[in-house]
Amino acid sequence: MPPVAIHTPIWLGTVTVKRNADGQSALSLAPSTPTELIQPERWNPDRRQLDFGFAVTNGAFRVQRTGTGVALIPLPEHPAFTTTLRLDHFGLAGAQIAAVLAGDEKTTFTQKGEALTFRCEPVVFSYDVKVAPR
Where do the domains of the chain lie?
A: 50-131
Which residues contact residue 76 at a Cβ distance below 8 angstroms, ignoring those fewer than 6 apart?
Answer: none
| pLDDT at site 40 | 47
The 10s digit of each residue's pLDDT in 4-54 is 445 555 667 777 888 888 877 888 888 876 554 444 455 677 788 989 999
Supply the mean pLDDT for the chain: 85
